[in-house]
Every structure is written in structure tokens, then in C-alpha cells.
Amino acid sequence: MFRMALLGALLLGAQIAAAQAPAAPAPAKAKPPQPGMCAACHTLEPNQIGGYFESAAFKSQAMQVDVGAAMPQILRFDPKALKVIDAGVAKTPEFLRDAKKRHEVQVTYVEKDGVKIASEIRFKGPVKIDPAHLIDYAGVAKLVAEGPAKANYTLIDSRPLVRFQEGAIPTAIHLPFIGFDKFVDRLPKDKNQLTVFYCGGITCTLSPNSMKKAKLMGYTNLRVYREGEPEWKTRNVLVTTPTFVKAAYLDRQIPHVMIDARTAVDATSGHIQGAVSVPAGEEKAVLKSLPDPKLKAPLIVYDGRGGDQAVTVAQALIKAGQQNVLVLDGGMIGWQAAGYAVESGVPAPTKIAYAPKPRAGSIPMAEFT
């Protein structure tokens, strides 16, 4: 009897101790998928995803959204039930057929049997900025033409590093919004100096938010080039460097075309591996072999040092409708100094060949449908 009572007391004590012991923490819920750049400003509900619209296939009633992961998110949709909102304005699902690729979107969905079914997709509208803090293309182009020393300005690219490496507006420095506080020493010492921020276009919040941070720090002469890199490259050249080309294109195996703007003789004596010879003044010879402008093929033009020959060819390509033309700062000399591959003793090809490939993890439309 005593033994039974003792056992009961022990069991009761164990139960009380277990009840008083802290419960094991519940596993953390996975955050709704969206690119890190978007997460800096946007909070999603559990049944939402955020990212960049890639494509929609009405035949299979599916869309894919780049959320910054290895693979895009695939969502089904019912054309008769899907709500489509563009910049706050209701659209029909047919809007998806011509929706701009890489446009920022937020998708709400329901999940059935492991399949995400989109109920609403919202396309982001233009960022609202006080007109007093805006500067347009003409204003930025004038500054760039004069240069920072003469025009007394600082031009800041607020995008992530890889985007800056892929091509930036001439004279820009890199100060990303994500990590802004780590790089504030890149801001001008003079807080009254004209400081212009830009990023990925009219829907991008990185440059406006960077401006707000600078304003809180006491900077008084701030502007945002809201149209940013997307508009600039349809009208003018971008710049990059040999190390940036390696990091942004070669290492990531991103298709691009290197164009040698020097004379054919100079190109034969030594040119960047895979480059096409397009001597300055002879651009018409390659116009028929240019990629479709809609592909926005990266065309990286270089000469001896990154001078007039490269700019001449680059501007001719832009005039022909190309929308992603870069000049290699430092040119051939800079490329060789970096120790990168060079071919010599053989003529460089004279026709441009560009073969695009889907972004890493995206699904070609032929397979997607």
C-alpha cells in the first residue's frame, strides 16, 4: 500500500513538473517568399508571394513569378476568377498577356492539394515622390556630361551590387539601399552638395528610400532620378569595368556580346576572347546582325582605354534601337591589366551573334505551356 502511494506521489510530481516546465518552442514559420530586395520594404501575408512577373500561359492557366529563389514560383489561375490590379486600377486577366516582364508584383493565392491557385495579382504602380525632389533624364545627362568636378554633384546607384556591376550610369558610385548604413561614408562630405539617387525605374523604392535616409542625416540638396537605369539605357550608354564584367557576366554565365571598336588591325593583334570587331565609323556593317532590341542584349563596347572609339560605336548601337549598351571603362588595356583572356593573331568575327537564355531557374515558355 505504501509502495503504491509512493509511486502515485512520484507520478503526480512528475506530471506537475512537466506542466511547469517551459514548452518547447514551436518551429518558426517560413516567411512568404519574395526577393531580399523586396523584403526590405514589404511585409507579406502567409498566403502571398512577392517578386517579379515572368510570364503567364493561358493554355496551361499558369504563371511564374521570380521570388529570388533558385526556382520561380508557379501558380495556377482561373482566367474567369483571377483579379488583376495594375497601379490600383482593375484590369481583366487578358492584361497578363502583354504585362511587362520583370514588373514587381504581389500575388495572393489559396492552396489546394499542394497547388497554389492565384486569386489576385497586383502590379506595382509608380512611386510617389515630391516633384521638388525629382530630376529628369535631361538634368542627369547634363550633369554627367559636365562631370562631378565641374558640376559639383554626387550620383548614387541604390541598386544591389550585381545590378551596378551589370551596368551603371556614367560617374555613378554604388551605395545600395540594402546595407545603406554600412556605406554612409560614401555620401559626400558636403551636405549641401547636389546628391542624386537612382535605381530600377518608376516602381523602384530603393532610391526614394535612400534619399529619405540621407535627409534624416542632414543632407539638404537631394534629388531622385525616378526613371533611373531603365530609361537611361534606352537613350544613353551605361558603363562597367573589367572586374565587373567578370563578376556579373562571365562568372554567372550571362549571355552578352563584347564589341571591339578599334581598327581591324588592332583587333587582330589582340582582342578580348569572343569579341566581335566593329571599328568606329563602320557600324552600319553590323546593323543587320544586331539582336532584336526587345531582348535587351548586353552589348559591351571597348577600345584601347575606354575612350571615343567605344563611345562612337555604342551611341550608334543605341541609335539603332539597342537598349542595353555598355562601354568598358579602361578598355583593352584595363582588361589585360586584370589578367583576363585575350586572343591574338586571328581576326575577330565581324557579325554579332547573341543567344539569350532564361534566367537561372526560370522555365522557357515552350516548356511552360
Whether 316 is in a domain gets the answer: yes
Tell me which of 178 and 359 has the higher pLDDT: 178
Regarding whether 64 and 46 lie in a shared domain, the answer is: yes
d(CA 204, CA 263): 41
* Pick from 63, 171, 159: nearest CA to 107: 63
Question: Which tens digit of pLDDT belongs to each residue from 330-356?
Answer: 999 999 999 999 999 988 999 999 998
Number of domains in the chain: 3
Say yes or no to pLDDT of 70 above 90.
Answer: no
- Per-residue pLDDT reduced to its tens digit, 289-337: 999 999 999 999 999 998 899 999 999 999 999 999 999 999 999 999 9
Do 246 and 321 lie in one domain? The reply is yes
Task: Select from 123, 142, 177 the last residue of a domain.
Answer: 123
The set of cell numbers assigned to 264 is 581591324
Edge-to-edge order in the sheet of strand 173-174: 173-174, 153-157, 194-198, 222-225
pLDDT tens per residue, range 154-169: 999 999 999 999 999 9
Confirm whether 5 is domain-assigned. Answer: no
Question: What is the phi/psi pair of residue 324, to 5°?
Answer: -155, 65
Structural domain includes residue 46: yes
One-letter amino acid for residue 168 of the chain:
A
Q: pLDDT tens digits for 98-116?
A: 999 889 999 999 999 999 9
* Whole-number pLDDT of residue 86: 96
Residue 180 carries which side chain, given as an amino acid letter? F
- Residues forming beta bridges with residue 108, ordered by sequence position: 48, 120
Task: Give the tens place of pLDDT for each residue, 203-230.
Answer: 999 999 999 999 999 999 999 999 999 9
Alpha-carbon distance of 148 to 142, in angstroms, equals 11
Q: What percent of the chain has pLDDT over 90?
A: 79
Supply the range of the domain harboring residue 45.
36-123
Q: Which pLDDT value is given to residue 22?
A: 53
Q: What is the mean pLDDT of the chain?
A: 89
Partnered with residue 196 across adjacent β-strands are 155, 223
Examine the domain organization and report whether 136 and 119 are in the same domain: no
Q: Would you say residue 4 lies in a domain?
A: no
Task: Say if residue 188 is in the same domain as residue 175.
Answer: yes
Read off the pLDDT of each residue in 129-134 and give the average, rounded to a whole number: 98
Mean pLDDT, residues 55-69 taken together: 92
CATH code of the domain containing 173: 3.40.250.10
Q: How confident is the model at residue 135 (pLDDT cuts 50, 70, 90)?
A: very high
When mean pLDDT is compared over 19-33, 36-50, 143-157, the highest value belongs to: 143-157
Residue 342 to residue 141: CA distance in whole angstroms: 34
- Residue 37 pLDDT level (bands cut at 50, 70, 90): low
Confidence of residue 40 (pLDDT cuts 50, 70, 90): low
Please say if the pLDDT value at position 8 is more than 50: no
pLDDT higher than 90, residue 369: no
pLDDT > 50? residue 281: yes
CATH number for the domain harbouring residue 110: 2.40.50.320
